[in-house]
């Protein structure tokens, strides 16, 4: 081996540790063989041999490879693989390599050894050429054929691009899948929600139906209640009227004298009857207000007169002079247009309440005005120093029949209708009623009413056929020289009423004929030769309407007889069109001699040609009763 070293011209050395190094080794061999002018086949042979041997030596430690050229004219390329430790090369590898190159020399050295692969170079090969640089470049750490590297890079890029596309497609697919899943989820959720909504809806519908049913039943109950009130109060009215009338009859100057005790008792009967009638009237009024039958009759009102009357009628109610009632004048308040009757009732109720629950101190009524919402308002403030109303009941007192429980009630009658009635009337007039109270110190009620009614509501006087307000001045004209009638026919099924009215009628006519039913009334008129007929409206069998029709159609002899219809029914319950024949329709309450005389005798000859003044069909209310009805409004 001593001849090897001196001939070395160049010796690129590289380590051989990995498969990559084997690859580089054979590439190096290929490059070196090509550079040194070997034939193509020999190039491949050398490279393959190096590949076989390099692969065989991979398992050894500290393997190095070296390229060198030896000799002069007949030069030889020597590739040496040297290793420090490892098994000897396999005979197969050595044999394979030996088939490809001319010479293989294996030199064992202790644990290691070396293999020299020798390839003869063709003559004319340039051993000093640039081959060594190329081999070194090949074997260096960054070795690599630039062409091959470029191709590799291109391939790499291509593959990367393909990979990228595939990854994107997969991602897209994945996204689609995800989207589909989300869609399904959304759809499921939607279905679930729809179902839930539907269930809720059906529940709501059921609930609504139930609510409607409840509302309807509530309405029915309310209507039934109102009807009940109206019926009861109406039914009660007739007997009460009789009681009052009979009591008055007993007390009348012309009747048989009573002793003091009896007079006292009859007075009590009359007073209680009046109170009862007032209560019944009030009940009826509330019922009417409830059912919306009450309509305000707007007309100019003289506040001064109204307040004066209140002061006059309410004062006596104050107990024992320990309570002072002060009613302010209407100074500065313009003349309002409103329903006088309703206003009177409102204030009367409030004052009566205040007086009733004030043991000592003062009850005052003040009047003021204010402008709000572009309209003029008048304020009636009723203030007392009475027991007051507990806070938790200040709204409940506006419920019908509600009364604050307590010792203050002792000895005081009442229906519990006053406040709700007052509030309802106030609302009907387009106003508000507010209550503030401090228990033990007093109560203040403020009624706020428009000075003029709503513009859209016709503010003109009441229609000609409407009822005339009951509070019209009392028909004071007592007949100065009433000429008694000949025969007066009184038709009523109620003997009590007939008894009440009989003394009055006896002052009007020589003879009073009473009938308890209207059947055959025309015949009765003819038979008795009646000069006038007093006819009740509500009777079993033939009622007042039928009787009036019978009279009207019975020929001039009978039809010309003045007819006066009396009834306990409220004004609006009377069908005036069917009573066109009657000279007047009077209410049983407060029926007086003066009224009857006025109607029956006032236009004696007018019976045939038609009435004057109030007209046949006009309703003569109980105005002659000197506010008899209104006077009993207070609880």
Partner 1 sequence: MSERVPVLRIGDVLLVSIQMDLEDQTVMDLQEDLAERIVATGARGVVIDITAVEIVDSFVGRMLATTASISRMLDAETVVVGMRPAVAITLVELGLSLGGVRTALDLEKGLAILRRRSGLPDADPA
Of 12, 14, 27, 592, the residue at the interface with partner 1 (CB under 8 A) is 27
Q: 3-state class of 255 per DSSP?
A: coil
45 sits near partner 1 (criterion: CB under 8 A): yes
C-alpha dihedral, 17 to 23 to 24 to 27, nearest 10°: 150
Q: Contact 344/310 with Cβ under 8 angstroms?
A: yes
Binders of partner 1 in range 99-128 (CB under 8 A): 99-100
Stretch that binds partner 1, among 96-104, 302-310, 397-405, 419-427 (CB under 8 A): 96-104
Stretch that binds partner 1, among 18-26, 237-245, 285-293, 426-434 (CB under 8 A): 18-26
Minimum distance from CB of 52 to partner 1 (Å)?
Answer: 6
Of 5, 9, 15, 19, the residue at the interface with partner 1 (CB under 8 A) is 19
| Distances from the Cα of 506 to the Cα of 487, 490, 509, angstroms | 10, 11, 5
Q: Number of residues interacting with partner 1: please give it, by CB under 8 A.
A: 28
H-helix or E-strand containing 66?
Answer: strand 63-70
Question: Which of residues 49 and 558 has its CB atom nearest to partner 1 in the complex?
Answer: 49
Question: How many Å apart are CA 608 and CA 604, to the nearest integer?
Answer: 9
43 sits near partner 1 (criterion: CB under 8 A): yes
Stretch that binds partner 1, among 46-54, 199-207, 211-219, 599-607 (CB under 8 A): 46-54
396 sits near partner 1 (criterion: CB under 8 A): no
368 CB burial (10 A radius; 0-12, 13-18, 19+): middle
52 sits near partner 1 (criterion: CB under 8 A): yes
151 sits near partner 1 (criterion: CB under 8 A): yes
Question: How many Å apart are CA 122 and CA 125, to the nearest integer?
Answer: 6
| Distances from the Cα of 341 to the Cα of 60, 195, 448, 631, angstroms | 132, 61, 16, 12
Of 61, 111, 155, 176, the residue at the interface with partner 1 (CB under 8 A) is 155
H-helix or E-strand containing 109?
Answer: strand 103-109
Of 12, 14, 16, 22, the residue at the interface with partner 1 (CB under 8 A) is 22
567 sits near partner 1 (criterion: CB under 8 A): no
Question: Which of residues 26 and 423 has its CB atom nearest to partner 1 in the complex?
Answer: 26
Question: How many Å apart are CA 475 and CA 597, to the nearest integer?
Answer: 12
Question: How many Å apart are CA 623 and CA 471, to the nearest integer?
Answer: 6
Question: How many Å apart are CA 87 and CA 359, to the nearest integer?
Answer: 134
Question: Which of residues 57 and 70 has its CB atom nearest to partner 1 in the complex?
Answer: 57
Stretch that binds partner 1, among 44-52, 351-359, 360-368, 560-568 (CB under 8 A): 44-52
Question: Which of residues 151 and 206 has its CB atom nearest to partner 1 in the complex?
Answer: 151
| Helix pair 340-356, 303-314: axis angle to 10 deg | 30
Question: How many Å apart are CA 336 and CA 13, to the nearest integer?
Answer: 130
CA 58 to chain CA mean position, Å? 92
375 sits near partner 1 (criterion: CB under 8 A): no
Stretch that binds partner 1, among 22-30, 476-484, 555-563, 585-593 (CB under 8 A): 22-30
Binders of partner 1 in range 295-314 (CB under 8 A): none
Q: Contact 627/341 with Cβ under 8 angstroms?
A: no
Minimum distance from CB of 1 to partner 1 (Å)?
Answer: 28
Minimum distance from CB of 80 to partner 1 (Å)?
Answer: 19
Question: How many Å apart are CA 365 and CA 352, to the nearest integer?
Answer: 12
Of 5, 13, 40, 427, the residue at the interface with partner 1 (CB under 8 A) is 40
Of 16, 33, 38, 47, the residue at the interface with partner 1 (CB under 8 A) is 47
Minimum distance from CB of 84 to partner 1 (Å)?
Answer: 24
CA atoms within 13 A on the CB side of 598: 23
Question: How many Å apart are CA 302 and CA 58, to the nearest integer?
Answer: 133
Minimum distance from CB of 154 to partner 1 (Å)?
Answer: 9
Minimum distance from CB of 111 to partner 1 (Å)?
Answer: 26
Question: Which of residues 24 and 447 has its CB atom nearest to partner 1 in the complex?
Answer: 24
H-helix or E-strand containing 299?
Answer: strand 299-300
DSSP string spanning 351-408?
A: HHHHHHT-SSEEEEEEEEEEEETTEEEEEEEEEE-S----GGGTTGGGSTT----SGG
Of 84, 96, 409, 614, the residue at the interface with partner 1 (CB under 8 A) is 96
Build a one-symbol-per-residue string for 156-195: x at contacts with partner 1 by CB under 8 A, - elsewhere.
x-xx--x---------------------------------
Which chain residues interact with partner 1 by CB under 8 A?
19-20, 22-23, 26-27, 30, 40-41, 43-45, 47-48, 51-52, 55, 96, 99-100, 148, 151-152, 155-156, 158-159, 162
């Amino acid at each position: 081996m001593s001849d090897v070293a001196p001939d070395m011209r160049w010796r690129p050395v590289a380590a051989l540790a990995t498969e990559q190094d084997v690859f580089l080794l054979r590439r190096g061999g290929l490059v070196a063989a090509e550079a040194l002018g070997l034939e193509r086949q020999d190039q491949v042979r050398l490279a393959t041999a190096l590949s076989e041997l390099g692969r065989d030596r991979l398992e050894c430690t500290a393997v190095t490879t070296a390229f060198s050229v030896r000799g002069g004219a007949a030069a030889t390329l020597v590739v040496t693989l040297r290793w420090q430790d490892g098994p000897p090369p396999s005979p197969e590898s050595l044999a394979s390599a030996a088939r490809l190159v001319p010479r293989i020399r294996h030199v064992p050295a202790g644990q290691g050894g070396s293999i020299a692969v020798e390839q003869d170079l063709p003559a004319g090969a340039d051993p000093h050429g640039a081959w060594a640089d190329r081999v070194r470049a090949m074997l260096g750490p960054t070795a690599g054929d630039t062409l091959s590297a470029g191709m590799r890079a291109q391939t790499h890029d291509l593959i990367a691009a393909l990979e990228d596309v595939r990854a994107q497609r997969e991602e897209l697919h994945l996204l689609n899948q995800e989207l589909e899943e989300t869609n399904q989820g959304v759809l499921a959720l939607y279905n679930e929600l729809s179902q839930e909504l539907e269930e809720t809806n059906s529940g709501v519908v059921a609930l609504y139906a139930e609510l409607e049913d409840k509302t309807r039943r509530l309405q029915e109950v309310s209507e039934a209640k109102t009807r009940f009130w109206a019926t009861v109060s109406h039914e009660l009215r007739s007997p009460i009227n009789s009681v009052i009338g009979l009591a008055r009859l007993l007390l009348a100057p012309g009747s048989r004298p009573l002793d003091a005790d009896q007079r006292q008792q009859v007075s009590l009967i009359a007073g209680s009857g009046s109170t009862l009638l007032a209560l019944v009237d009030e009940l009826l009024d509330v019922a009417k207000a409830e059912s919306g039958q009450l309509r305000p009759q707007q007309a100019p009102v003289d506040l001064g007169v109204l307040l004066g009357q209140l002061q006059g009628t309410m004062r006596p109610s104050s107990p024992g002079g320990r309570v002072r009632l002060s009613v302010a004048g209407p100074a500065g308040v313009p003349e309002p247009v409103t329903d006088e009757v309703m206003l009177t009732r409102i204030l009367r109720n409030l004052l009566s309440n205040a007086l009733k629950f004030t043991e000592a101190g003062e009850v005052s009524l003040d009047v003021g005005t204010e402008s709000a919402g572009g309209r003029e308002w008048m304020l009636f403030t009723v203030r007392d120093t009475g027991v007051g109303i507990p806070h938790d009941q200040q709204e409940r007192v506006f419920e019908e029949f509600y009364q604050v429980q307590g010792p203050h009630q002792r000895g005081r009658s009442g229906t519990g209708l006053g406040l709700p009635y007052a509030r309802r009337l106030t609302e009907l007039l387009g106003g508000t009623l507010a209550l503030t109270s401090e228990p033990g110190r007093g109560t203040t009620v403020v009624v706020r009413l428009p000075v003029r009614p709503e513009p859209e509501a016709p503010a003109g006087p009441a229609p000609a056929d409407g009822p005339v307000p009951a509070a019209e001045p009392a028909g004071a004209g007592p007949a100065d020289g009433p000429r008694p009638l000949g025969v007066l026919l009184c038709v009523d099924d109620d003997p009590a009423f007939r008894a009440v009215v009989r003394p009055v009628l006896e002052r009007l006519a020589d003879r009073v004929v009473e009938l308890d039913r209207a059947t055959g009334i025309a015949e009765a008129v003819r038979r008795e030769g009646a000069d006038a007929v007093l006819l009740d409206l509500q009777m079993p069998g033939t009622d007042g309407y039928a009787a009036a029709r019978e009279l009207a159609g019975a020929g001039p002899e009978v039809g010309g007889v003045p007819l006066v219809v009396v009834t306990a029914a409220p004004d609006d319950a009377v069908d005036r069109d069917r009573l066109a024949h009657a000279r007047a329709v009077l209410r049983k309450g407060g029926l007086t001699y003066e009224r009857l005389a006025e109607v029956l005798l006032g236009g004696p000859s007018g019976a045939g040609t038609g009435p004057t003044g109030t007209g046949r069909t006009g309703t003569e209310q109980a105005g002659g009763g000197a506010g008899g009805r209104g006077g009993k409004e207070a609880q």
